[in-house]
Structure 1
Amino acid sequence: MEINSSNATIIDDTIRELSLKERLLKSQLMSCIAGSIILCCSFGIRQTVGVFLIPITKSTGWDRSTFSIAAGLFQLFWGFSQPFVVYFAERKWGFGKCICVSCAIYAAGLFLLYGSGQSAGLFIFAYAIVVGTAAGGNSFPVILASIGRRFPQKSKQQAVAFGLVSSFGSFGQVIFLPIARVMVVEIDWRMSFVVLGAIVALTIPLSYFLQTIPPIPALPPTVVDQTELLDDKVPDTDMDEKKTTDLEKNQKDDFSAPDIKTALKEAFSSPIFIMISLGFSVCGFHVSFLATHLPAYLQDQGIDPSLAAWTMSILGAGSMIGSIATGYITNYVSPRLCLTVLYLARAILFVIFIFIPVSLTTVMVFSCLFGFLWLSTVPLTTKFIGDVFGHRYLGTLTSISFVGHQIGAFLGAYVGGVIFDKTHSYMSLWYTSLALAVFAVVANFFAGEEPVNMRRRGLEP
């Protein structure tokens, strides 16, 4: 279609009328960049906890159970704060303000750790309660829910964005693990927390690009060229009827609950949501156990401390690739099947790692392969919940499932320390991780994936 000079002028005027502020707030690119950097710093720093275990316990004389209770409670406060933060983000303050405040409190908690050297209580308060609670406001559910509003719902672009942004949490793990190890050696663990807090504080301005905007609805099957709206010809009746039909179908495709109360009722009464959350809790156990205790376990096995830190970085590097790949794969394979295969692969790797003698080679191979599965559950679980329950309250529902993830994370961090202090071995934890991986395979495979209550709303699945 040719556009005359008058129509072209109208388009140019419309573009100019959109202020710079509005363009920035609605920018898909800027939101992805901001979310990626915040996740990179916040998640990368919290994954360094294992690097600090032996230096802190040696410096203070605490046993590993004391350190592990702080690491475990951190996971709980992180998990339980998420639904409340997302509620305020979706219903009260908006995503930008919640992320801004959370980053500020997160940094303050890390600063507070500087003075906790001789007080286990202060260390637990600063790390578990202050930093853990703040972590709920700059983590995956909040960041991804904000970014997801800038893409057409249930679109390929949204799925890829979820995977790409999630991968930067893993990238943070890649860069901050070796950095933390060097800082612990060069400037002591107390000053290391101060530097890490300053890095988090620098991310606060990025929350501007993650402010709440109305979500973009799903695209209809046929997208009509917008320039046709400026055409001064008589509207085509057949085309108008087709556009109306497409819009009606698009509205039917939105099977989200009409309000938050209904969304919560559907989720808690749905076996699918329960199965998703149980499987996600297994992921929390695995990630927290490895992040907290793998470096110490490897040092106990005679692996150099610097190399032990690098194994966690390798896990993060593999996770970057895995998160991006799974975000893309879910456009063609259901997230339920992807999660089933993912946990099956974890089970196989645990079997191999348990029964093959520990060496630098086996550790590096394990880290490379397990890295692909490390955080790949995040975009998969987010899309799984969105496909079943809709996207209107996706942030709230994913944050609730994340509570299950963090309960598992608490057990992985805390129980690992307790069992080591009693048995001086982590072997029973490796067997537990294997059993839980098998459980997650079963939970996800039998979860089902049909959108909830579509028939009750007069829709066909």
Structure 2
Amino acid sequence: MAIDERKWRTPAVVMVAGCVIAVIGMGTRGTLGLFLEPMSSSLSWSRETYALAMAIQNLLWGILLPFAGALTDRYGASWVISGGAVFYALGLWGMSIADSVLMLHISGGILMGLGSAFAAFNLAIAAMVKVVGAERRLLVMGVGTAATSMGQLIFSPMAQGMISSFGWSDALVYLSFISLLMISFAVLLPSNPEVRGEESTDQGLGEAIREAFSQRGFILLMIGFFACGFHVAFIGIHLPAYVTDLGLAPQVGAYCLALIGLFNIAGSFLSGMAGSRWSKTYGLSWIYLGRALVILGLLVAPKTALTLYVFSALMGLLWLSTIPLTTGVVAEVFGVRYVATLYGFVFFGHQVGAFIGVWLGGVFYDRYGSYDGMWWAGIVVGVLAALIHLPISEKPLPRVVAASAVA
């Protein structure tokens, strides 16, 4: 059976559309750390206030992504991502006019959390992997993840330029309009859940979820992904403020985020290729251990712009390189028919870590006037995650082996 009845909706079209959605969605979202200091200063808020809004956003994203994934696996990604883009744009616009803590938490927290879940790059990548054969899936995951970093590379300096030229409020309005462009590309994604390279299965969604949660490796993958969310959310939101606390120009923080995006393009590609040849779970262990070492290097090195640029480049190599490997483990063990849903559950662990990382960052700073405690916590979390991934099995379930053999 064809992947889609419309012949123009080829794998190449789906790949381009999915990558553009990832660029816009994660690019605009990756700029939110640039607004922490100017919004907090302008509205006389504590950093915890802004951090809590971002924490709510991350947690809601994690809670809702399994449901968004289930809708995508059942009906296709087009309508799901289009609806999410509307919520996402409304959230950015609401932040631009927020004059109270409640308004900030509704717009930046709830609305953007809804938008992040239903217009998630994860859903676009899931749509992409379903239109290619099994031998290309990890590479496609790497390409999709690299696209998210391209967005960060493009949008971070752009957003900082808009903040400097027009102010934080107008900058958020412009980002809101840009985010609506995701709808134009979402309609190019497949509108049915067929999978290339796997025989159709009679397994239902509920059965797939129960099967996954019966596997110890799936639970460990969820727990281990906590570390990724903790690191990415804390650094993404608080690094620009950390830079200005050191007496450096705000542009340095924007360049740091851009460098993370730039080097993660390479990191994601390398991660996808490495996962095709070697153990994905061992690769994840090395990535988390590497993050711990990079953070340790930042703490002991002189705090200069050069140090921060080197830190950002090294962290960029490890930034979202976890995603192709984590998604790859889920797809290899359980198949890709319900990969969006199952990855959504794993991603919930990521977003719990994101909630704690971004919120505690604000709490620590407001209480101690420093982020040092959070950096040390990041080291501990990284080491623990490296250990957690070691016993996870990558062996496909017998059902998946049989389905692939028939296909």
Quickly name the TM-score band, shorter chain normalised. over 0.9
Deviation at 1:454, TM superposition (A): 5.5
Q: For the residues of structure 2 that align with 1:158 and 1:455, how far apart are their CA atoms?
A: 15
Alignment of 1:93-242 (within 5 A): 93-116=75-98, 118-152=99-133, 154-155=134-135, 157-218=136-197
Q: For the residues of structure 2 that align with 1:356 and 1:175, how far apart are their CA atoms?
A: 28
Alignment of 1:413-432 (within 5 A): 413-432=358-377
Deviation at 1:165, TM superposition (A): 1.6
Partner residue, 2:36? 53
Q: For the residues of structure 1 that align with 2:401 and 2:110, how far apart are their CA atoms?
A: 42
Q: Contact conserved, 1:151 with 1:215, CA < 8 A, in 2?
A: no
Q: Contact conserved, 1:257 with 1:263, CA < 8 A, in 2?
A: no
Q: Contact conserved, 1:266 with 1:452, CA < 8 A, in 2?
A: no
Label 1:63 to 1:209 Cα distance change in 2 as closer, same or farther (>3 A).
Answer: same
Kindly provide the amino acid, as one letter, of the partner of residue 85 in structure 2: C
Q: For the residues of structure 1 that align with 2:404 and 2:188, how far apart are their CA atoms?
A: 36
Alignment of 1:346-365 (within 5 A): 346-365=291-310
Q: Secondary structure at the match of 1:434?
A: helix
Label 1:215 to 1:454 Cα distance change in 2 as closer, same or farther (>3 A).
Answer: closer
Kindly provide the amino acid, as one letter, of the partner of residue 265 in structure 2: M
Kindly provide the amino acid, as one letter, of the partner of residue 142 in structure 2: G
Kindly provide the amino acid, as one letter, of the partner of residue 108 in structure 1: L
Q: Which structure has the greater CA radius of gyration?
A: 1
Kindly provide the amino acid, as one letter, of the partner of residue 183 in structure 1: M
Q: For the residues of structure 1 that align with 2:93 and 2:403, how far apart are their CA atoms?
A: 54
Moved more, 415-424 or 178-187: 178-187
Kindly provide the amino acid, as one letter, of the partner of residue 160 in structure 1: L
Pairing partner for 2:64 from 81, 103, 113 = 81
Q: For the residues of structure 2 that align with 1:386 and 1:34, how far apart are their CA atoms?
A: 21
Deviation string, structure 1 residues 264-321 (Cα, Å, up to 9, x no partner):
1122221101111111110000000000111111111122111121111100100111
Deviation at 1:362, TM superposition (A): 1.4
Deviation at 1:389, TM superposition (A): 1.5
Deviation at 1:457, TM superposition (A): 8.2
Deviation string, structure 1 residues 77-117 (Cα, Å, up to 9, x no partner):
111111111112222x431111111112211221222321x
Aligned length: 403
Q: Secondary structure at the match of 2:277?
A: coil
Deviation string, structure 1 residues 392-412 (Cα, Å, up to 9, x no partner):
111110011111101100111
Label 1:370 to 1:257 Cα distance change in 2 as closer, same or farther (>3 A).
Answer: farther
Pairing partner for 1:71 from 54, 63, 66 = 54
Deviation string, structure 1 residues 188-236 (Cα, Å, up to 9, x no partner):
1111111001101122111111133353443xxxxxxxxxxxxxxxxxx
Label 1:72 to 1:257 Cα distance change in 2 as closer, same or farther (>3 A).
Answer: farther
Pairing partner for 2:7 from 23, 29, 43 = 23
Q: Contact conserved, 2:18 with 2:144, CA < 8 A, in 1?
A: yes
Q: Contact conserved, 1:160 with 1:324, CA < 8 A, in 2?
A: yes
Q: For the residues of structure 2 that align with 1:456 and 1:305, how far apart are their CA atoms?
A: 52
Kindly provide the amino acid, as one letter, of the partner of residue 193 in structure 1: L
Q: For the residues of structure 1 that align with 2:76 and 2:312, how far apart are their CA atoms?
A: 38
Q: Contact conserved, 2:335 with 2:400, CA < 8 A, in 1?
A: no
Segments of 5+ residues of structure 1 without an aligned counterpart are 1-17, 219-249
Which portions of structure 1, spanning 4 or more consecutive aligned residues, are displaced by more than 4 angstroms? 453-460
Moved more, 48-57 or 201-210: 201-210
Q: For the residues of structure 2 that align with 1:326 and 1:332, how far apart are their CA atoms?
A: 10
Label 1:212 to 1:68 Cα distance change in 2 as closer, same or farther (>3 A).
Answer: same
Segments of 5+ residues of structure 2 without an aligned counterpart are none
Kindly provide the amino acid, as one letter, of the partner of residue 190 in structure 1: S
Q: Contact conserved, 2:23 with 2:149, CA < 8 A, in 1?
A: yes
Q: For the residues of structure 2 that align with 1:360 and 1:257, how far apart are their CA atoms?
A: 56
Partner residue, 2:269? 324
Q: Contact conserved, 1:28 with 1:150, CA < 8 A, in 2?
A: yes
Q: For the residues of structure 1 that align with 2:172 and 2:32, how far apart are their CA atoms?
A: 11
The CA RMSD over aligned residues, in Å, is 2.2
Deviation at 1:328, TM superposition (A): 1.5
Deviation at 1:39, TM superposition (A): 0.8
Q: Does 1:288 align with 2:233?
A: yes
Deviation at 1:257, TM superposition (A): 8.1
Q: For the residues of structure 1 that align with 2:151 and 2:202, how far apart are their CA atoms?
A: 35
Partner residue, 2:394? 449
Label 1:213 to 1:456 Cα distance change in 2 as closer, same or farther (>3 A).
Answer: closer
Q: Secondary structure at the match of 1:209?
A: coil
Q: Does 1:259 align with 2:238?
A: no
Q: For the residues of structure 2 that align with 1:140 and 1:335, how far apart are their CA atoms?
A: 21
Q: For the residues of structure 1 that align with 2:8 and 2:401, how far apart are their CA atoms?
A: 40
Q: For the residues of structure 1 that align with 2:202 and 2:49, how far apart are their CA atoms?
A: 44
Q: For the residues of structure 2 that align with 1:125 and 1:398, how far apart are their CA atoms?
A: 26
Q: Secondary structure at the match of 1:358?
A: coil
Q: Contact conserved, 1:162 with 1:379, CA < 8 A, in 2?
A: yes
Q: Contact conserved, 1:283 with 1:405, CA < 8 A, in 2?
A: yes
Q: Secondary structure at the match of 2:360?
A: helix
